Amino acid sequence: MAMSEDPPKGKKLPLYDESALPYEHPLYKTLLSVPGLSVAVAPLDMILQWGMTNALWIFPMATSCCGIELMAAAASRVDLDRMGTIVRATPRQADVMVVAGTITVKMAPRVKTLWEQMPEPKWCIAMGSCAISGDFYRNLYSVIPGIDTVLPVDVYIPGCPPNPEGLMHGLMRLQEKVKLAREGGLPTREENPALLDLTRPSVMRFKDPARDPSVTLAQEEAALHATAQDSSDERPVDGPAATFAPAEARAPEVDGEFEAILAGEFGVTELPKDAPPIVEAARHVALARRLRAAGYRQLVLVAATHYPEKTGAKAQAERFEVTYGLRTVGARSRLALWRVCLAPGEPVDTLVGVFAGADWQEREQFDLLGVTFAGHPDLRRLMLSGDWQGHPLRKDYPADKACAPWR
Ligand code: SF4
């Protein structure tokens, strides 16, 4: 293209001599007439690649502490927006799922369903050692040993937690990977057999060639029916309706010492130094009512413990202990704790009729330890999926129990 010569004085210098152009196009002519605009020509694929790599929208699968670092990455210091990465609250508009935190067996099918809802092309970043391998929870009954046992992971960001700059670095590595893939290359796989063996999860990784295809099919099936399996969550309460004690005027102070009530009205005189006093199971609801009337208005604790059978010098029969805690509200708050001892299978009366907050707390103990609360209006699992086998906080429950198809 030749430059025009000798521009008349006082007139703008044209950039190009348009008469020398081999073709004419109205858009091109318009672009050339925009002051200060430079026109560059590039292959379409390069432009698409540039657009793809600089608009990696994140779907945040943030489940625990690493999620805080993910949130911080969007704030002003790191400011992920400057590389075109924004967080979207729907999988349908996202390109990258960032798994930041521990994924449990109950959550895994939901995560997989959300992944399936993301349009192609899509990528996954495992942020932090919990998402990579399960970390300290790796052998725990309820945690999957890494998100890559369920989804294909593109970039792993190590750390506990990785900081926001780590996430930005991971996104830049993902940009490189996307470019490489569009140019027809592929990242090299880890080939060190010792390392591969050391890092092998109990369920083979999603992209591992040695993975049994039936595991993938089972995971997909479980993800598709996750809600149906757990429909207990939506079931109406089918037990007897809870009867709540009428609200009473708040007592500003307790009208008697907890110990005095225990000794004088319930015949409990033994007060161990290292544990709450034991109250007869048949009378503990009456005690809760009495304490509520005395000013202990808040139920703060229902916690069960399993003691397996022991033989030998310290022989003891198997038992469960349920500890209850109430407190007064306001200044100089006071705490009242007591225990109820139960034989295996023996129920204890529910406190739901006295304190509404006992509902979920008792369900949690039923779920994790199998303690039965007689008269509870809706006694079913709370934390684990409805089809879970056994009660994992019993001492005889194996910690690293397999739970197909997730761990
Ligand atoms: S890797 Fe560490 S910081 Fe991240 S979720 Fe796990 S325990 Fe929390």
- Strand 335-342 relative to strand 319-327: parallel, antiparallel, unpaired? antiparallel
Closest CA to 207 of 302, 328, 126, 276: 126
For ligand 1, the distance from its centroid to the CA atom of residue 115, given in whole angstroms, is: 21
Burial class (CB in 10 A: 0-12, 13-18, 19+), 32: middle
First to last CA, the chain: 66
Range list of H helices, 57-163: 66-73, 108-117, 129-133
Q: What is the pLDDT of residue 23?
A: 61
Q: How far apart are CA 126 and CA 80, in angstroms?
A: 17
Instruction: Check if 68 has its Cβ closer than 6 Å to any atom of ligand 1.
Output: no
Rg (CA), the chain: 32
Ligand 1 in reach of 63 Cβ (< 6 A):
no
Residue with the smallest CA separation from ligand 1 atom 8 is 65
Which residues neighbour 304 within 8 Å (Cβ) at sequence distance 6 or greater?
Answer: 320, 321, 322, 323, 365, 368, 369, 371, 393
Q: Are 69 and 163 in contact (CB under 8 A)?
A: yes
How much distance in Å is there from the Cα of 194 to the middle of ligand 1?
A: 26
Partners of 404 in the β-ladder: none
> How buried is 3 (Cβ within 10 angstroms: 0-12 exposed, 13-18 middle, 19+ buried)?
exposed
Ligand 1 centre to CA of 159 (Å) is 8
151 Cα to the center of ligand 1, angstroms:
19
- The Å distance, Cα 60 to ligand 1 centre, comes to 15
CA of 68 to the centre of ligand 1 (A): 10
Cα–ligand 1 centroid distance for 161 (angstroms)? 5
- Per the rule left: phi > 0, alpha: psi between -120 and 50, beta: everything else, 36 is left
With a 6 Å cutoff on the Cβ, whether 361 touches ligand 1 is: no
Closest CA to 302 of 317, 320, 316, 283: 320
139 exposed, middle or buried (CB, 10 Å; 0-12, 13-18, 19+)?
middle
- CB of 146 closer than 6 A to ligand 1? no
Q: Which long-range contacts (CB under 8 A, 24 or more apart) does 359-365 make?
A: 359/242, 361/299, 361/301, 361/302, 362/302, 364/302, 365/302, 365/303, 365/304, 365/322
pTM: 0.75
Q: How far apart are CA 206 and CA 50, in angstroms?
A: 29
What's the CA gap between 266 and 403, in Å, rounded?
Answer: 46
Q: Is the CB of 102 under 6 A from ligand 1?
A: yes
User: Could you tell me if 290 and 265 are in contact, meaning their C-beta atoms sit under 8 angstroms apart?
Assistant: yes
Q: Whose CA is nearest to atom 2 of ligand 1?
A: 160
Cβ atoms of residues 404 and 388 within 8 Å: no
Q: Is 64 in the pocket of ligand 1 (CB under 6 A)?
A: yes
Q: Ligand 1: does its nearest atom lie under 6 Å from the Cβ of 65?
A: yes
Write out the chain's pLDDT in tens, 407 residues.
444 455 556 555 555 565 666 666 777 778 777 887 777 777 788 888 899 999 999 999 999 999 999 999 999 999 999 999 999 999 999 999 999 999 999 999 999 999 999 999 999 999 999 999 998 888 888 899 999 999 999 999 999 999 999 999 999 999 999 999 888 887 777 788 888 888 778 888 888 888 999 999 999 998 888 776 555 554 455 555 555 555 454 444 566 688 999 999 999 988 898 899 999 999 999 999 999 999 899 999 999 999 999 988 888 999 999 999 999 988 788 899 999 999 999 999 999 999 999 999 999 999 999 999 999 999 999 988 888 889 999 999 988 888 889 98
Tell the residue nearest (CA) to atom 5 of ligand 1. 101
66 Cβ closer than 6 Å to some ligand 1 atom: yes
DSSP 185-210: --PPPP--HHHHHHT--SS--TT-TT
The answer, yes or no, to whether any atom of ligand 1 lies below 6 A from the CB of 318, is no
Query: What would be the CATH architecture of the domain defined by 258-374?
Result: 2-Layer Sandwich (3.30)
- The number of the ligand 1 atom at minimal distance from the alpha carbon of 63 is 5
Looking from the CA of residue 66, the nearest atom of ligand 1 is: 4
Q: How far is the CA of 64 from the centre of ligand 1 (A)?
A: 7
SS3 state of residue 227: helix
Backbone angles phi, psi at 36, to 5 degrees: 80, 0
Rounded to an integer, what distance in angstroms lies between the CA atom of residue 326 and that of residue 303?
12
* Whether the Cβ atoms of residue 129 and residue 92 lie closer than 8 Å to each other: no
Atom number, ligand 1, closest to the C-alpha of residue 160: 2
What is the crossing angle of helices 44-53 and 164-182, to 10°? 160
Classify 323 as helix, strand or coil: strand
Buried b / exposed e along 266-291 (16+ C-beta atoms within 10 A): bebeeeeeeebbbbebebbbebbebb
- CA atoms within 13 Å, Cβ hemisphere of 16: 18
The ranges assigned to domains in the chain are 1-41, 50-187+202-229, 258-374
**Are residues 267 and 282 in contact, defined by beta-carbon separation less than 8 angstroms?**
no
162 within ligand 1 shell (Cβ under 6 A): no
Decide if domain 50-187+202-229 falls under CATH 3.40.50.12280. yes
Among residues 144, 101, 150, 108, the alpha carbon closest in space to that of 126 is found at 101
Q: Which residue of 61, 63, 65 sits with most ligand 1 atoms within 8 Å of its CB, as the best mutation to test the pocket?
A: 65
Evaluate: CB of 130 within 6 angstroms of ligand 1. yes
